[in-house]
Structure 1
């Protein structure tokens, strides 16, 4: 289904009846990978999932966004859907948005519980190799932005950017690349985690390389009411790699009895 939220055409799904669950996907993804989990949980809850702006079938924002812009958009979505309280489930970047939502004292809806799967939000110090790669990338961008070079090779900068950086950066449109840079440059200090009040379930794939298991271990230590479940033989998309196990873990946390 499509709806206009803050002047952005937004794709979303809603399935089931009962208490509300809101699911937020990761960067570079969309609501589709959530489908098996949506199908499972919609037997017991009213489940909402949306494509965040710039992903899936939702339109891009007009300007590059930071994390707070996505958070404010999510709040607008809940208002338009009439959501007054919800269980929040987030994967990767969606989890980072939930962490920020949980730190807003005037949030217009109540967070009942939180489930974070391979959540983003922790930035690790860059290695010397990574720092050198960034410097070379910036130097290349500076050179290709020079007017004489742009006149001679008008497509060179776009081609250079599309072959550089992480997969999330390379696969993004020029505007979403700028958003990506804003997002990854934001650092959440410890207070963002210690301020989370709702009971929180952390689900991590033991082989997650995008948001390593140590991130989940850190969140378990710093979020007051948190428990970490490590899933074997699973990576960043833990809810797809080991769907049956993840569903059972979530059922236990939500007290679902079949």
Structure 2
């Protein structure tokens, strides 16, 4: 299904009946990765999932958005759907958007419960080696952007990016690379203590993208949060151990099966 949100033709799905649930996907992903979860919840809830701008079948945003732009976008989607109260489920980048959204003041929508799965939002401290690598990259970028150097070595900058950038960065378009840089460099740790809703944290024990330590910190800082660690799972714990994750979510939402 499609709806226009902020002049962007937005792809979304809706299934089931009952209290509203909205699922937000992670970076580089799309709503289809949550099909199993939506199918599990649909007999008990009205489940919405959407492709956020720049992912799946929803076009890129008109400019290099930051987290607040995505929050504005999701809130407008919620208004367009006529939702007044919604349970939020977010994986990775989706969790980042949720953290910032629920700490906004004077909203016309309420969030009775939150589920954050391998959520992003905590800015890791850079090691000395990482700091040196960033400095070298920035210096190289300056040199390779000089006109004469560009003419002599037209592919050098892209090759350097491919060598230095993360898999997400290298896979993204030029615009979405700018978005990625903006969102990953914002530390949402100061917002965690202000999250007002009961929060379930689900984390893959072996997650390397958003380490388990991030989940443990979130449990400590979010009032009333509880953390469930999924043994042997990585960043996509909800896919790797879907049965367990669904049971944990069902217990948190008091689903009677």
TM-score bracket for this pair, using the shorter chain length? over 0.9
Deviation at 1:29, TM superposition (A): 1.1
**Does structure 1 retain, via aligned residues, the 8 Å contact 2:89–2:116?**
yes
CA distance in 2: counterparts of 1:59 and 1:3, whole angstroms:
12
- TM-score by length of structure 1 reads 0.96
Q: Which residue number in structure 2 is paired with residue 108 of structure 1?
A: 108
SS at match of 2:48: strand
> Does residue 224 of structure 2 align to residue 229 of structure 1?
no
CA distance in 2: counterparts of 1:179 and 1:118, whole angstroms:
20
**Does structure 1 retain, via aligned residues, the 8 Å contact 2:121–2:189?**
no
**Does structure 2 retain, via aligned residues, the 8 Å contact 1:21–1:47?**
yes
> Does residue 242 of structure 2 align to residue 248 of structure 1?
no
- Aligned 1:115-194 pairs, distance under 5 A: 115-190=115-190, 192-194=191-193
Structure 1: unaligned runs, 5 residues or longer = none
**Does structure 2 retain, via aligned residues, the 8 Å contact 1:101–1:107?**
no
**Does structure 2 retain, via aligned residues, the 8 Å contact 1:162–1:171?**
no
- Aligned 1:1-258 pairs, distance under 5 A: 1-190=1-190, 192-258=191-257
CA distance in 2: counterparts of 1:67 and 1:30, whole angstroms:
17
CA distance in 1: counterparts of 2:9 and 2:229, whole angstroms:
37
CA distance in 1: counterparts of 2:248 and 2:113, whole angstroms:
14
SS at match of 2:23: strand
1:174–1:162 Cα change, 3 Å: farther
Deviation at 1:155, TM superposition (A): 4.1
1:193–1:16 Cα change, 3 Å: same
Deviations for 1:14-33, whole angstroms, at most 9, x for unmatched residues? 11111100001111111111
**Does structure 1 retain, via aligned residues, the 8 Å contact 2:95–2:120?**
yes
SS at match of 1:193: helix
**Does structure 1 retain, via aligned residues, the 8 Å contact 2:99–2:188?**
no
